[in-house]
Structure 1
Amino acid sequence: MEPLPRETIVDVLEGRLREDILTGRHPAGSYLPPERTLADGYGVTRTTLKHAFGRLVQAGLLETRHGVGTRVLDYLRFGRADLLPMLVRHSPDWIGEVFEVRRHIGALIAERAAARATERQCAELRELLAKVAEAETADAVQLADIEVHRALARATGNRVYVLLTNTLFNAYVPLRSSLVAPFTDARVAHGRLEPVVEAVAAGDTAAARRAAEEYLTTTERIMLEGLS
């Protein structure tokens, strides 16, 4: 059983504002109404409104200038990685584009990991892979699988790959409970991922890339079938 999210009033307001922006009620380039007007309209305090604004500014949806106002930004020009989970919540269509990047980045990470992983990192990968087979629930299998991919990113020696991996997994959060289909059988999930880890441990870059592409394509298909 998955715990219910505990939303605060800031979470709810952020979601309302985000939807109003992404659906075009507040189009890019326009200025939002004055804070007092917005706060009264949503039935919240100005402090709550400022907290919600702060999150949307961080994500690249809004720009606030003292004495000028709060302007809606073109998120395709100014948006940052923080925005991906919001976009997936707004429209599940985004998940297909997330998966496309997941395939390309994941295959490249496996290839780089095979070229650069140390003995210690290879041992860690095998330990984490074993936890996939040992997990007792689909959710636990999914989380164990994620840790293997984080370790693969670390094994590249490139911290940007680690941050990209984190970003992609964070984008799944809104739909995570709907993406467990590849992880319902721990042994099968382990078997899908094992060729990637073994190719990396063997230092075979071509095999690691092929195995990762196969793994990512297969799990993507199963996940998308679960969403449809």
Structure 2
Amino acid sequence: MEALPRTSIVDVLEDRIREEILTGRRPAGSLLPPERTLAEGYGVTRTTLKHAFGRLVQAGLLETRHGVGTRVRDYERLGGADLLPMLVRHDARWLSEIFEVRRGVGALIAGAAANRAGGAARTRLRELVEAVRTAGDPDAVQLADAEVHRALARATGNRVYVLLTNTLFNAYLPMRRHLAGPFQDAEEAYGRLAPVVAAVEEGDGAAARAAAEAYLAATEEIMREGLKSR
């Protein structure tokens, strides 16, 4: 059995302030009231408030300067892709923008992998795509599929592609049960992905890009249909 999460007062306060920031009730650039005032307003101790502030600073939503105070960070102007997992959890509409990036970056990665992958990388891709076919249940199929894409990124030799792929999966995987439509049948999932790997093995960059575009479009359509039925 899966253990139930335990929620502390710091968790609750962090969620409250995050919601206020992401919904615009505390706009970017605004200076928060003094800690004593905020703590009294939320009905918490200043120690609890400091712990929540520390988490939100680490998340990239607040910035604290000695002698100035705590300000809401303009995360859309200054933030990085590491914010995506949090933003998707807050508002699923971010997924539409992730899908757009997924299509563009996925096709570029497949083409680069075809042009640059060495023998070991191609062998590993064959093994991983076969693992999609033999996965025992839809969740295992979905995770096996993700590993193929991580391997494609590594096969490019470009570490930025690897980090981008990791970031997109960090945003996607927490919601994967809502996006599991393309992975219900292992053989069908394999059939959609195998042409990408085959083109990479052949070293055909144009064919790999085209196969990736077809795969990404097909899986996105199925995922979107699944989201509509939620």
- Would you say same fold, with TM above 0.5? yes
Contact 1:59–1:79 under 8 Å retained in 2: no
Contact 1:63–1:72 under 8 Å retained in 2: yes
The one-character-per-residue Cα deviations of 1:155-176 (angstroms, maximum 9, x if unpaired) are 0000000000001111114422
1:23 alignment partner AA: T
1:34 alignment partner AA: P
Relative distance call for 1:72 and 1:207 in structure 2 (3 A) is same
Separation of aligned partners in 2, 1:220 and 1:181:
9
Q: Which residue of 1 aligns with 2:52?
A: 52
1:225 alignment partner AA: E
1:118 alignment partner AA: G
Relative distance call for 1:142 and 1:45 in structure 2 (3 A) is farther
Q: Which residue of 2 aligns with 1:153?
A: 153
Q: Quote the offset at 1:32 in angstroms.
A: 1.7
SS in structure 2 at match of 1:55: helix
Separation of aligned partners in 2, 1:5 and 1:78:
35
Q: How high is the TM-score relative to the length of structure 2?
A: 0.91
Q: Quote the offset at 1:48 in angstroms.
A: 4.2
Q: Which residue of 1 aligns with 2:216?
A: 216
SS in structure 1 at match of 2:63: strand
SS in structure 2 at match of 1:31: coil
1:27 alignment partner AA: P
Q: Which residue of 2 aligns with 1:68?
A: 68
Separation of aligned partners in 2, 1:59 and 1:80:
10
Q: Quote the offset at 1:46 in angstroms.
A: 3.9
1:207 alignment partner AA: A
Q: Quote the offset at 1:123 in angstroms.
A: 0.5
Mean CA deviation greater in 87-96 or 108-117: 87-96
Q: Quote the offset at 1:88 in angstroms.
A: 1.1
Q: Which residue of 2 aligns with 1:123?
A: 123
Relative distance call for 1:183 and 1:21 in structure 2 (3 A) is same
Task: Count how many residue pairs are aligned between Structure 1 and Structure 2.
Answer: 227
Q: Quote the offset at 1:42 in angstroms.
A: 3.9
Are 1:88 and 2:88 matched, yes or no? yes
Separation of aligned partners in 1, 2:50 and 2:108:
40
Separation of aligned partners in 2, 1:174 and 1:19:
19
5+ residue gaps, structure 2, are none
Q: Which residue of 2 aligns with 1:113?
A: 113
Separation of aligned partners in 2, 1:19 and 1:174:
19
Paired-residue identity, %: 71
Contact 1:138–1:185 under 8 Å retained in 2: yes
Relative distance call for 1:139 and 1:67 in structure 2 (3 A) is same
Separation of aligned partners in 2, 1:4 and 1:94:
29
Q: Which residue of 2 aligns with 1:204?
A: 204
Separation of aligned partners in 2, 1:12 and 1:126:
46
Q: Which residue of 2 aligns with 1:101?
A: 101
Q: Which residue of 2 aligns with 1:169?
A: 169
Separation of aligned partners in 1, 2:13 and 2:138:
32
2:30 alignment partner AA: S
Q: Quote the offset at 1:133 in angstroms.
A: 1.2
Q: Quote the offset at 1:45 in angstroms.
A: 4.6
1:33 alignment partner AA: P
For the aligned residue pairs, the C-alpha RMSD in angstroms reads 1.9
Separation of aligned partners in 2, 1:191 and 1:31:
54
Separation of aligned partners in 2, 1:137 and 1:42:
46
1:160 alignment partner AA: V
